[in-house]
C-alpha cells in the first residue's frame, strides 16, 4: 500500500511538472510570428494613465510598431528571439527603431523574460493577458515609479 501511495505521488508530481511546461510551451506557440503593438499605456506614481499613441496623436504625431517572435522549445530550456520595430513621427520627423531580444516564457505563462541583444542582464515582465490573438505585458520601473503596459494583437 505504501508503494502504491509513493507511485501515485510521483505520478501526480510528474503530471504537475509536465502541465507547467506545456502551459509555457503553449504560450510560446501562440507568440510565434508577427504581432502589432496596438496600445502602450504608462501609469505614473500618482495613478495617472496615459495612452502613448493617443498622446502623440494630440501632438500631431504617430507611432506604429510590430513584435516578431520565434518559436523555441521550453522542454530543452532554450530562449527564443524577438524583434521589436517601431516607427514614430513627431514634429514632422520620422524615426525607425529596431531592437533585437532574447525571450523566455516562464511561470505557467505568467511572466516573460527579455534580454536586449548585447545587454548583460534581462528584465522580467508580467503577462496580464494571453491568448492566440492578444497579449498584454506590464512592467514596473522602480526609478520612474511607473508601470508600462503594452498590448499586442495578431
Average pLDDT over every residue of 79-87: 96
Dump pLDDT digits (tens) for 102-153. 999 999 999 999 999 999 999 999 999 999 999 999 999 999 999 999 999 9
Distance between CA atoms of residues 20 and 6, nearest Å: 21
Distances (CA, A) of 77 to 33, 80, 101, 104, 131: 20, 10, 17, 9, 22
* Predicted TM-score (pTM) above 0.85: no
* C-alpha pair distances (Å), 87 with each of 6, 31, 37, 99, 129: 58, 21, 11, 12, 25
CATH number at residue 49: 2.40.128.280
What's the total number of domains in the chain?
1
Residue 94, domain extent: 2-153
Report CA 90 to chain centroid distance, whole Å.
Answer: 26
Indicate the DSSP class of residue 46: T
Amino acid at each position: 500500500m505504501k508503494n502504491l501511495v509513493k507511485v501515485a505521488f510521483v505520478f501526480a508530481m510528474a503530471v504537475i511538472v509536465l502541465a507547467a511546461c506545456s502551459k509555457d510551451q503553449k504560450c510560446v506557440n501562440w507568440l510565434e510570428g508577427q504581432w502589432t503593438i496596438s496600445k502602450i499605456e504608462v501609469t505614473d506614481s500618482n495613478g495617472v494613465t496615459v495612452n502613448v499613441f493617443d498622446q502623440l496623436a494630440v501632438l500631431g504625431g504617430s507611432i506604429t510598431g510590430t513584435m516578431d517572435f520565434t518559436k523555441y522549445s521550453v522542454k530543452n530550456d532554450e530562449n527564443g528571439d524577438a524583434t521589436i520595430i517601431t516607427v514614430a513621427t513627431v514634429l514632422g520627423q520620422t524615426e525607425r527603431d529596431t531592437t533585437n531580444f532574447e525571450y523566455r516564457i516562464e511561470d505557467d505563462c505568467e511572466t516573460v523574460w527579455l534580454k536586449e541583444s548585447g545587454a548583460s542582464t534581462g528584465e522580467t515582465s508580467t503577462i496580464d493577458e494571453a491568448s492566440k490573438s492578444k497579449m498584454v505585458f506590464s512592467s514596473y520601473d522602480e526609478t520612474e515609479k511607473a508601470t508600462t503596459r503594452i498590448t499586442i494583437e495578431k
